[in-house]
Structure 1
Amino acid sequence: MSEVLLVVGLLVAVFVGYNIGGATTGPAFGPAVGANVITKLAAAALMSIFFFLGAITIGPAVVTTLGEELVTDTSVFTLEANVAVLFFIGGALFLGNRAGVPASTSMTAVGAIAALGLATGELDWAVLGEIVIWWVVAPIIGFWVSGVIGRYFYPAINAWVAIEDGEGEEPMLSVSLEGVVPTVRTPDGLDRRGTAGAAVVVVIGCLMAFSSGTSNIANAIAPIYATGDVGMIPLILIGSAAVAVGCFTIARRTLDTLGNDITNLPLTAAIVVAVVASSIVIVLSAIGIPASFVVVATMSIIGLGWGRATRTTTLTDARRGEETAVSVGALTAEEEGEPAPEIGEEETDDIPSASDLFNPSTTARVILMQNVVPIISTVGAFLTFRFLPIFGF
């Protein structure tokens, strides 16, 4: 019976990994696909590779936190409980993916595991408190770092990078398999600067995929690892393979949402946000904290827009009490490659509103599902473990 439950648990873990692939590919490569820099197929391949690299290098630290430290007694991770935990994680993420929304896999997984610990009286509140504190602090850090970049560095970065959306049906970067060694091919007419810009977008996507692997692999395999029946490395291989399947299949929905529907975020801004958010997630993963990339990235977008908008006011003007019209839409004030006015020389009327940047209906749907998915996972798991005697708690 235990062997059957272990197989079932592994299958459910694969289901979770499949949905993680669907939920995380969009945030990582949505901008690149939306700008026609690479195809969805190429995005899936790169996501699979760099997710695995993050999972195998830094990922074990987060697996240990969720699988050994979040509960005081790992014996609560019975095979029956593992199946239920992974079912609620995967089921909740599946709902988000079906809606085309990349839900927070870290919050969903922590919620389900914490619900198990709470229902059994084995929840380590100190570890949960540390995780939650970082969930609050990390977006604040992302906001302020991006705010400083937006005010003092973003216009210069925007003028230097000058990345423009790819035109036509052919992607800006593709891989040719005609020779012995695969080579990267660009369409005719794409200059060196355009090629470099496209490469930057792809490299940043790879960084995001790596950061996703460092944090999200634990969401699929931590409960199984806690039982001691399967080793860390085999589980990472299984989980990463499942993520790859999700990248090549269900991720197409989130790629459309993040690449085309939710926002007209300039590619330069997307690059800055990706670097800031990915760096924060990688650092937190290294110390064993499962972090939500989507939440950090959202606050980074707001911070970057706020910083860019404050360029209409100098510090002297601010000390005099002059108000600043702040809008995230300030990120669309100039095109890529266009130099911005000096601080204090720009008129507030030149700053677009946030409605020029975000699609209101899609943004509302994303925000709603970002909160609903973790709640479904947490509440469903708690009620199951608390009131169904099948688990023997």
Structure 2
Amino acid sequence: MIELLLISFGLVVALFVGYNIGGATTGPAFGPAVGSDVLSKTGAAALMSVFFAIGAWTIGRRVVDTLGNDLVTRGGIFTLETSIVVLFFIGAALFIGNYAGVPASTSMTAVGAIAGLGVATGSLDWAVMGEIAVWWIVAPIIGFWVSGMIGRYLYPQINRRVAIESSEGPLFTVDRSGTVPRLVPGENTTRREAVGSVVVILIGCLMAFSSGTSNIANAIAPLVGAGMDLEPLIVLGSVAVAVGAFTIARRTLDTLGNDITNLPLTASIIVAVVSSAIVTGLSAIGIPASFVIIATMSIVGLGWGRATRTVTVSQSIRGEGETKVSVGALTAEEPGDAAPDIGDEEPDDIPAAADLFDPATTGRVIMMQNAVPVISTVGAYVTFLVLFRFVW
């Protein structure tokens, strides 16, 4: 009877973790698409649910085995009791981030809780933990600076080549004139806009798939390590992620799609390409990628780079000589838009940094993304230290 209650409680806690994973990972995957009005929040949630489940069912089972066995060295450390405690701290910490509208890293939060268990019991593999931690520091920095340099030096040229501008009306409509309904571009949708929109959605789907391959382990690995069957847990975890994607993920979609920086479609594609490339590279070498942090820092980097574009122009203007102006006053970012003559710009024509990059929101995001894994790690460590010393 007691074991049945423990199993039931463990499943409830695992579902709670999956719910919060859906809330935390939908924003980084589809925030750029939602922020640029390519995709609705409901559409993002639906795609997240499908591709997360595919990733979890195919490759995710390998990550479950790794997280449940390699990070801690002592056999049998995962029991139903320890698994419930670990999952509780993962879910509670992620919920704090989701409630604040900040998508925290599920990988960092989960690994932190398991590391807390490992340190408290003397069973943590420090070599494995050290390698993971180094990449968790390096990868977001790479994402920030690559996106920042693109935003600062290359964005106008890329934008002119891509030349994607959101049009009025829906991007796609359903044509029901034939026997089989089909999806067609909207009345005002250009070919480049349609292609760019499909690209940014497909990249979001790729990131959702990648999330499934790694993050399903964060919800179910402790229970699998305790001896429960893998396949039913994958199904239950994927359903919980879908519920989170349709509900609490709306907060994180707002944060990453609208609050940090205004993302036109070109910027969305840049962020998605940079983030997915880094995540894929880390996955290829066996590192559990924190794609939430990487995607967030890519968005921050691009916003910072665009907001700080300035150039010194050596040109005689009414005899005043050298003048420093915003790039936005010199370069029209869309084809056909002529830049105003230097010195003739209206103040409203020069984009303010606050319109491209919100330091206050960025500070809140970075603070919470670091606090959430700390909460799970410290909470699990203290709890297991007390339990193993005085109870177990």
* TM-score between the two structures when normalised by the length of structure 2: 0.82
Quote the residue 1:29 is aligned against.
30
The aligned residue for residue 52 of structure 2 is: 51
Residue aligning to 1:194? 193
- What fraction of aligned residue pairs are identical, expressed as a percent? 67
Residue matched to 1:124: 125
Kept after mapping to 1: 8 A contact 2:35/2:262: no
5 Å-filtered alignment, 1:374-385, equals 374-385=373-384
1:67 and 1:74 in contact (8 A); partners too: no
Question: Which whole-Å CA distance do the structure 1 matches of 2:31 and 2:120 have between them?
Answer: 38
For 1:130, give the aligned amino acid: E
Unaligned runs of at least 5 residues, structure 2: 313-323, 340-348
For the residues of structure 2 that align with 1:191 and 1:292, how far apart are their CA atoms? 35
Specify the SS of the correspondent of 2:140.
helix
2:4 maps to 1:3 = yes
The 2-side partners of 1:312 and 1:382 are apart by 51
Q: Which residue number corresponds to residue 242 of structure 1?
A: 240
Q: Which residue of 2 aligns with 1:76?
A: 77
Alpha carbons of 1:51 and 1:311: their partners in 2 closer, same or farther (altered >3 Å)? farther
Provide the secondary structure at the position in 1 that maps to 2:287. Answer: coil
Instruction: Tell me the SS of whatever aligns to 1:184.
Output: strand
Q: Distance in 2 between matches of 1:35 and 1:11?
A: 36
Q: How big is the shift at 1:126?
A: 0.9
- Structure-1 residue corresponding to 2:229: 230
Distance apart, 1:284 and its partner CA: 2.2
Instruction: Give the structure 2 partner of residue 67 of structure 1.
Output: 68
1:187 is displaced (CA, Å) by: 3.1
Given the alignment of the two structures, is residue 137 of structure 1 paired with residue 130 of structure 2, yes or no?
A: no
**Structure 1 residues 302 and 367: alpha-carbon distance in aligned structure 2, compared to 1, 3 A threshold:** closer
SS in 1 for 2:76: helix
Corresponding pairs, count: 371
Alignment of 1:1-393 (within 5 A): 1-143=2-144, 145-146=146-147, 149=150, 154-165=155-166, 167=168, 171-173=170-172, 183-231=182-230, 233-301=231-299, 304=302, 335-336=333-334, 354-388=353-387, 392-393=391-392
* Corresponding letter in the other structure for 2:288: P
Aligned with 2:19: secondary structure? helix
- Secondary structure, aligned partner of 1:189: coil
Alpha-carbon distance in structure 1 between the residues aligned to 2:128 and 2:336: 47
Deviations 1:134-163 (A, max 9, x none): 112322443454466557754443223223
**Contact kept? 1:104, 1:370, Cα under 8 Å:** yes
Q: Please tell me whether the aligned partners of residues 164 and 266 of structure 2 are also in contact (alpha carbons under 8 angstroms).
A: yes
Per-residue CA distance 1:178-234 (angstroms, 9 max, x = gap): 977563244322222222222222122212212222221111111112123222x33
Q: Could you tell me how far 1:31 is from its partner in structure 2?
A: 2.3
Residues 72, 124 of structure 2: 8 Å contact kept: yes
How far did residue 237 of structure 1 move?
Answer: 2.0
**Residues 37 and 166, structure 1, Cα contact 8 Å, conserved in 2:** no
Query: Per-residue CA shift, 1:248-305, capped at 9, x if unaligned?
Result: 1111111122222221133322222212212222332344322211322344346556
Q: Which residue of 2 aligns with 1:321?
A: none
C-alpha distance in 2 between matches for 1:307 and 1:95:
30
- Contact 2:168/2:188 (<8 A) preserved: no
Matched-pair contact (CA < 8 Å) for 1:97–1:250: yes
Residue 254 of structure 1: SS of its match in structure 2? helix
Gapped regions of structure 1 (runs ≥ 5): 314-324, 342-349
Higher Cα radius of gyration:
2
SS in 2 for 1:75: coil
Residues 254 and 151 (structure 1 numbering): CA distance in 2 closer, same or farther, change over 3 Å? closer
